[in-house]
Copies of this chain bind each other. A is one copy, B any other.
Amino acid sequence: MKLAVIKGDGIGPEVIDVALSVLNQVLPGVETTEFDLGAQRYHRTGDLLTDEDLDAIRRHDAILLGAIGDPSVTPGILERGLLLKMRFALDHHVNLRPSKLFPGVTSPLAGNPDIDFVVVREGTEGPYTGNGGAIRVGTPHEIATEVSVNTRFGVERVVRDAFARAQSRRKHLTLIHKTNVLTFAGSMWKRAVDDVAVEFPDVTVAYNHIDAATIYMVTDPGRYDVIVTDNLFGDIITDIAGAVSGGIGLAASGNIDATGTNPSMFEPVHGSAPDIAGQGKADPTAAILSVVLLLRHLGHDAEADRIDQAVSADLASRGDTPVTTAEIGTRIRVALG
């Protein structure tokens, strides 16, 4: 396996180092290439993600990314020029984000409900395309638009992926959108789900408006099995999902090109957390669970299962004493035996 590694900014390098040591223990001999991308390179060279970077990244089987982002860079520059550019260039249309409340982990929700669902967030359309613009900027007559672009092609492929995942899980799929206000895009999403549902007769389908869905995340997250949703609603719902299932220190994600044409990318949902960077406080679990998703994506299910069990064992026995980034790595490598 050839793995492109982007450690990135803030706590990125710390959590990726631990994640790689865990990967190496279950699957020795993975070839890694480090890519220097993020705020530091941007400040040094002005480059975000060049065509050469993309060509080199494409020659790998998968990508592991830590976190990108630094307060020294204007909001939007790194996001649009690097993170989103990569998702679009590598056609990462399936943004996969599982949420599971592991035994031993405390949810901020009273009564620690059962939580075990997967969000399939569309990754290459919606309000994320950079469409839109502004005129008369800086005057009292400024107008700014943001355009959400949705295609049947793009919606249908991610809906089909979500149905297939529901089929191999508890056979329940929920579409989240805002069909009563965003009627053009909403009606297309709704029809795509209705049409693809015919191919999966034993999957039951539900629909929630995004606003109602955030309520259910707090009052009844156990109702969800697989969620399919657009790029922006998926961004929002996966953060709240992470929060109720023990914090985004535990939330992993995959940015997947389901056609296999381009390498898929795996990364923790959390950001670069510059406030705690370099202090050994970051929880590497989300990065390690991103390695689990990466292994499953490449067909290494046995290795993925081993790490999953070691993470469960670590979380179940952590107790209330704070553990350092390195200690968590050690605990998981010990559990792996």
Residues of A within 8 A of B (CB): 75-76, 79-80, 84, 106-110, 127-128, 130-134, 136-153, 156, 178-188, 191, 210-212, 214-215, 217-219, 232, 235-236, 238-240, 242-244, 247-248
- The 10 A-B pairs of least Cβ separation, nearest first, read A142-B152, A211-B239, A214-B240, A76-B183, A144-B184, A146-B148, A215-B243, A75-B180, A79-B180, A218-B243
Residue of B144, B152, B218, B232 near A185 (CB, 8 A) is B144
Please give the count of copies of this chain that the complex contains. Answer: 2
Given contacts A146-B147, A182-B127, contact A188 B218 (CB under 8 A): no
Given contacts A179-B75, A214-B243, A243-B219, contact A150 B140 (CB under 8 A): no
Residue of B110, B142, B156 near A108 (CB, 8 A) is B110
Task: Judge whether A80 and B152 touch: CB under 8 Å.
Answer: no
Task: Judge whether B240 and A215 touch: CB under 8 Å.
Answer: yes
CA distance A107 to B107 in the complex (A): 14
CA distance A219 to B134 in the complex (A): 35
Residue of B138, B184, B211 near A133 (CB, 8 A) is B184
Task: Judge whether A127 and B181 touch: CB under 8 Å.
Answer: yes
Task: Judge whether A132 and B210 touch: CB under 8 Å.
Answer: no
Chain B residues with Cβ below 8 Å from A210 are 235-236
CA distance A148 to B144 in the complex (A): 8
Residue of B136, B146, B152, B191 near A141 (CB, 8 A) is B152
17 pairs from A and B in contact (CB 8 Å cutoff): A75-B179, A80-B181, A84-B181, A108-B219, A110-B110, A128-B181, A132-B182, A133-B184, A142-B151, A144-B150, A144-B151, A145-B149, A146-B148, A146-B184, A211-B236, A212-B239, A215-B239
Given contacts A211-B235, A239-B215, A243-B214, contact A148 B151 (CB under 8 A): no
Given contacts A76-B183, A181-B79, A184-B146, contact A236 B236 (CB under 8 A): yes
Residue of B whose beta carbon sits closest to that of A148: B146
In this complex, the member of A107, A130, A151 whose beta carbon has the largest number of chain B beta carbons within 10 angstroms is A151
Minimum CB–CB distance for A36 against chain B, Å: 21
Residue of B84, B133, B148 near A132 (CB, 8 A) is B148
In this complex, the member of A76, A147, A180 whose beta carbon has the largest number of chain B beta carbons within 10 angstroms is A180
Residue of B whose beta carbon sits closest to that of A146: B148
Residue of B whose beta carbon sits closest to that of A149: B145
Task: Judge whether B218 and A76 touch: CB under 8 Å.
Answer: no
Residue of B137, B184, B218 near A218 (CB, 8 A) is B218
Residue of B127, B187, B217 near A144 (CB, 8 A) is B187
Chain B residues with Cβ below 8 Å from A182 are 127, 132, 146
Chain B residues with Cβ below 8 Å from A185 are 132, 144-146
Chain B residues with Cβ below 8 Å from A140 are 152-153, 156
Residue of B whose beta carbon sits closest to that of A212: B239
Task: Judge whether B144 and A179 touch: CB under 8 Å.
Answer: no
CA distance A240 to B208 in the complex (A): 14
Chain B residues with Cβ below 8 Å from A139 are 152
Known: A132-B148, A148-B148, A217-B240. 5 other contacts (CB 8 A): A76-B186, A80-B180, A144-B150, A145-B147, A147-B147
